Structure 1
Amino acid sequence: MKNIFKILFATILGVFLSSCDRDDTLAVAELKSNPDIISSLSATSYVINDTNLSNTFETIVFKKANFGVNVETENQLELALAGTSFAKPINLGVATSDNYVKLTYQELNNALINLGLVPNTPADVEVRVKSNIKSGNTNPTYVYSSPISFKVTPFKANPDDLFPKIYMPGIWDEVALGGYAEWDPANSPALYSSKKNNVYAGFQYMAFKSASYPLDPDNGAFKFTPGASWDNDMGDDHTRTGKLTKDGEWNIKVADYPVANTFFIKVDLANMTYSLEKANMGIIGEATPNGWNSQVDLAYNPSTMKFEIASIALTGGKVFKFRNNDSWSIKIQPASGDVTPVSGKEVQVYNSAEGTVKDDPSFICPETGNYKIVLDLHNSGYYSMTITKL
């Protein structure tokens, strides 16, 4: 028993002394030199396109910060718009044990888009190394390298390539839906996970074939598949209460089948649930002809798979937003604060029902006139709107 206590005491003492040594080392650590980017860029200007996305952009090599003692550091590469003093930086990558960060054009492009840069428009940006001593401190002190600058033209990445998705094979009317095939997972509508967390959502216009498909208790309009095949397909659990199953599933029924309608669909694979809410999207607000009294409906365009208004008169300086089914259960609006869109320029929009909107912001019509409006709501990771003055 005495030996056991001796061993336990020695172990505790060793841990205590090790902790003391680490604390003592951190206590005497003093910055001698900042991190320093030592590699040179191969060019001063870069253009990103669909042919070089998978290629290596650059390998940024740096000298780690010197703290005068042997400490482990955490290092990351930051990107910011030139002239902003890194007020809103984007993390490009972490190199804890290595002294370099290797980037592809795709990784750089994603960061540029997240930074808010306009696709196909050159912009001046800067990168720098951000370092701190690895200590477990929740509020570490950072030191930085001098930045290096370059000009880059971002590429408009396809949002459908950026987010996980599940497929919806069903009794689709190929003509009405602009090309989707009947019961073909690889050629069917999809739902996207905006937070990459097994929750998938999106608005889908549904037009079905009805011939030879009566709505027997075990029949319906579509199923879900996690990939572009029938592996692990999911359907209703026979209760019609929004629960999914992979074993002996029923096809999922849709309200008013086979009449075509738009639905907001949400699938939670962690909890194996689904929901469908009929969606009749329209524009409303003081900028519109009906004011706040009633919405002006958008029409679905099968050839573009988007919701459109060919021409609507809007009043400059007045606000508008989009809503569903003449109610406020779903609103399509900016994320926070009123936004004035630029004619002909795509702007990201958000769905209030998904918890991505703060307060109750609106869009502001830039000037009085007739506008074409296009609303793309198929990918919950990137809903978008374009208004173009006619």
Structure 2
Amino acid sequence: MMLMLCVLLAAAACKKDGEQYTLQPGGFSGGALSASSTTIVLTRAAENDTALSFAWGAAAFGGATVVGYTLEIDVPADTSGANAWGQAKTFNAGNQPQGYSFAGKDLNNLLSAMGLPAGATSQVAVRVKAAVPQYNGAASTVTPVYSNTLVVTITTFSSNLYVPGDYQGWNPGSAPMFPPIEGKAGMYEGYVNMPGSGGPYYFKFTNSPDWDHTNYGDGGNGTFSTDGNAAGLSVPTGGYYYLTANLNTNQWTATAVTWGIIGDATPGGWDADTPMAYDAAEQVWKVTAQMKKNGSFKFRANNAWALDFGTDANGKLVYADNPFLGYTAGLNNLGVPEDGTYTIRLDLHLSGQYTYSVTKN
């Protein structure tokens, strides 16, 4: 009887312990990271095709360990030093070393989101991180390992945005065009007049003057969807709108605006805007007002210091305050050469090419 009890206890102990193994320092033993090509030229015509693929072998940490793979892409300048790879874009590649591929448009948008110039040739560094994930989602206590680093040279294409909608018959070919903002890759802004008193009015952004490429519809909560069947973006009623699009964050805004002039050169001084009226035929805002030489003025939207223009050292209109682009310090106010009645025009119909004129009557 005692012998049988010992045998049963021994069997139970074996079943409880199960198979045991010890984690070891990890390493890529199944093959180095490779790319389908290390020199890529992206084109709009092939934006939906696979442009670049990566492959790598398995990493091992000992035993039957589950390994998670993450593809990391960064600019070469960020791959050394104390914070190396700290700005890398990361892509979850799952638990199998099967590789990762990018369509041309996604790769083009990625480089834009990394702040690299559109329509130019840039280099990116690529590596794969292999880690042992914890079953409960906590941070892993196992030190991850990294593959070799590849440097890939990519030439992107410049991508403008077009704004077709209800207000112009949904024709991208004749829609207003927003070029990328200089120095702010993936960000766009501009003005569109959507006349009418009803609503809502719908529109979309497209990255080509047609419906054959990417178009951006409503993703909900102020975000984009690149699903071609997604509903249009919308504004509640007709009006003159300031539109912004950020392809880095997939967010957009539409703000109804009216414009005026304010300052001690104007009839209302610095306490009250002198309103301008929109001339749809000329696509300009204008006002005729009695102006003073001994003073200055600025263009201001919606009677508030949230969206307004000053001028730079070259006399070019530049946003002083802008919720999308931030604050610009050191700008000048505008003025008139002598007292008198002036017609003042503000032309915002070409995105990024904003102009004004001051004409004495």
1:167 maps onto 2:187 in alignment? no
Match of 1:246 among 226, 231, 238: 226
1:201 maps onto 2:178 in alignment? no
Name stretches of at least 5 consecutive residues in structure 2 with no aligned partner.
Answer: 1-157
Amino acid in structure 1 at the alignment position of 2:311? P
Match of 1:377 among 348, 353, 359: 348
Q: C-alpha distance in 1, partners of 2:337/2:249?
A: 44
1:223 maps onto 2:204 in alignment? yes
Match of 2:257 among 279, 285, 300: 279
Deviations 1:81-125 (A, max 9, x none): xxxxxxxxxxxxxxxxxxxxxxxxxxxxxxxxxxxxxxxxxxxxx
Q: C-alpha distance in 1, partners of 2:279/2:179?
A: 21
Match of 2:177 among 182, 185, 190: 190
Q: C-alpha distance in 2, partners of 1:297/1:282?
A: 4
Checking the alignment, whether the CA contact within 8 Å between 1:286 and 1:318 is kept in structure 2 is: yes
Q: C-alpha distance in 2, partners of 1:292/1:325?
A: 14
Equivalent residue runs for 1:119-158 within 5 Å: none
Q: C-alpha distance in 1, partners of 2:206/2:159?
A: 12
* Identical columns (%): 26
Structure 1 residue 164: deviation in Å? 5.7
Structure 1 residue 208: deviation in Å? 4.7
Match of 2:319 among 351, 374, 390: 351
Judged with a 3 Å threshold, the aligned counterparts in structure 2 of structure 1 residues 208 and 249 are, in CA distance, closer, same or farther, namely: farther
Q: C-alpha distance in 2, partners of 1:334/1:358?
A: 11
Q: C-alpha distance in 2, partners of 1:209/1:320?
A: 32
Equivalent residue runs for 1:1-390 within 5 Å: 165-172=160-167, 181-195=168-182, 197-208=185-196, 220-230=201-211, 231-237=213-219, 239=220, 241-247=221-227, 248-255=229-236, 257=237, 260-309=238-287, 311-335=288-312, 347-352=315-320, 353=322, 354-355=325-326, 357-359=328-330, 361-390=332-361
Checking the alignment, whether the CA contact within 8 Å between 2:159 and 2:208 is kept in structure 1 is: no
Structure 1 residue 314: deviation in Å? 0.4
Deviations 1:333-386 (A, max 9, x none): 1136xx8xxxxxxx5211121347324531122111111111112334221111
Q: C-alpha distance in 1, partners of 2:206/2:297?
A: 37
SS of 1:295's partner is strand
TM-score where L is the length of structure 2: 0.51
Checking the alignment, whether the CA contact within 8 Å between 1:319 and 1:364 is kept in structure 2 is: yes
SS of 1:244's partner is strand
Checking the alignment, whether the CA contact within 8 Å between 1:165 and 1:190 is kept in structure 2 is: yes
Higher strand share: 2
Checking the alignment, whether the CA contact within 8 Å between 1:185 and 1:229 is kept in structure 2 is: yes
Checking the alignment, whether the CA contact within 8 Å between 1:372 and 1:388 is kept in structure 2 is: yes
TM-score where L is the length of structure 1: 0.47
Judged with a 3 Å threshold, the aligned counterparts in structure 2 of structure 1 residues 164 and 314 are, in CA distance, closer, same or farther, namely: farther
Structure 1 residue 317: deviation in Å? 2.5
In the alignment of these two chains, the number of paired residues is 198
Amino acid in structure 1 at the alignment position of 2:274? V
Structure 1 residue 204: deviation in Å? 2.2
Judged with a 3 Å threshold, the aligned counterparts in structure 2 of structure 1 residues 209 and 326 are, in CA distance, closer, same or farther, namely: closer
Judged with a 3 Å threshold, the aligned counterparts in structure 2 of structure 1 residues 164 and 389 are, in CA distance, closer, same or farther, namely: farther
Name the structure 2 match of 1:42.
none
4+ residue runs over 3 A deviation = none
Checking the alignment, whether the CA contact within 8 Å between 1:194 and 1:380 is kept in structure 2 is: no
Output the aligned Cα RMSD. 2.2
SS of 1:319's partner is coil
Name the structure 1 match of 2:13.
none
SS of 2:173's partner is helix
SS of 1:221's partner is strand
Q: C-alpha distance in 1, partners of 2:351/2:175?
A: 17
Q: C-alpha distance in 1, partners of 2:164/2:196?
A: 11
Judged with a 3 Å threshold, the aligned counterparts in structure 2 of structure 1 residues 208 and 244 are, in CA distance, closer, same or farther, namely: farther
Checking the alignment, whether the CA contact within 8 Å between 1:314 and 1:370 is kept in structure 2 is: yes
